[in-house]
Amino acid sequence: MSTTLTETISAPQAPDIGYHPDEAKWRARTAQRLAQDPKLRSVPLPEGFPAKVEGPIVWEGKDWTDESQFVYRLSTAELKEINEALAHFKGLGVKKGYISKETFPLPTLGPKLYDLARELYEGRGFFVLRTIPVDEYSREDLVIVYAGISSHVGSDRGKQDSKNSVILHIKDLSPKHAKGASGIGYSAHTSDRQTFHTDQGDLISLLTLETAVEGGISKLASSSRVYNEIAATRPDLIHTLSEPWPIDRFGADPAYVMRPVLWNVDGNIIIQYTRRQFTGYSAQVRSPNIPPLTEAQAEALDTLQFTAEKFAYNMTLQKGDIQYISSLGLLHAREGFRDEEDHTRHLIRLWLRNTELAWKMPDILKPYWDRMYSLGPDQQEFPLEAELRTKHSGGLPPGAK
């Protein structure tokens, strides 16, 4: 008599990690992995990655002791020039997609904005323009002013949803949703805390129409400073971050793509990820039947978060501020906030690129960038009110504010 043995192969178990970071779990996972293999601290860095990055893009939050280090205050003459540019553009009688530094001329302010754009690509990676008198404009005119000023920082505007919208309203929409915040899959449309992440695209711009009653602080961290810390203390995690990860595409076809989170391109450290791509967020649950994260990846994801927190700068934006940041050189996050019925936080976002100053991109990201910045002037949409985001068509799940 013969006996047939059937071997049961169980699927890999997903690590215990969620969208909201748990420092105790991170420290426990780190301790366990180092106990299992103490040599992780001493492995050589991957080929092509430096022991240390230097330059103005490498900074810590404590380096910014006064807002005058990064805030450019608009003068009365410059605000008058902006109004003249608005009148000039409206006189052309063309669609908003034709807004450019040529159709929104700023002869005095424009060159200064270009110099500030250099700061995004070649310097610290962020600045704030203060203050646009947002209450003095209609919403229509304000959108023109915002896009017009920003065209002198980055000439290309990226699409942010499948409707070809090039601006996105960042606002808590959960009070208007039947299921509240639990029915919304993008934290941009809730008042929830946001973890450190990057958006798709070169540059992020945010115009503050209204601040929150409480909270909502913007948090920035230098990706290169985060890299330096991890490279010095846990070089094995540089290996992990620079190897392919399963990026959830949340219902798209294919269901996921494999790509790294970290690159070194021409000496520029580039980190591109959002945590929800690996953990899901609220109604946008992680897709089934895609490879789970490894324990090493789970540790690396939390290490990015808590290292960024260690070196972050916390910025309080004022009504009328425009914040510009490099999404290639910086990580960003947001504290949770509280609104009241008649006082709600409301920001408008642009994704920009300055083609003259742009960094060389990793080959695997180029198709996504090209697709995102592919809209012609007649295709671009500029919604005036906040609405729940539709599926993004750029190929990568976008980051959110």
**Each residue of 348-398: pLDDT tens digit?**
999 999 999 999 999 999 999 999 999 999 999 999 998 876 554 333 433
Cβ atoms of residues 105 and 147 within 8 Å: no
Residue 135 pLDDT: 98
Residue 21 pLDDT: 96
> Pseudo-torsion of CA 128, 129, 131, 136, nearest 10°?
-120
Give the DSSP per-residue string, 209-264: EE--SEE--EEEEEHHHHHHHHHHH-HHHHHHHHS-EEEE-TT-SSSEEEE-SEEE
Q: Which two tokens mark 188? A: 């941009």
Report the pLDDT averaged over residues 295-300: 98
Residue 276 pLDDT: 93
Q: How confident is the model at residue 121 (pLDDT cuts 50, 70, 90)?
A: very high
- Residue 323, strand partner residues: 128, 206
What is the model's pTM?
0.92
Number of DSSP helices (H) and strands (E) in the chain, helices first: 9, 17
pLDDT over 80 at 81, yes or no: yes
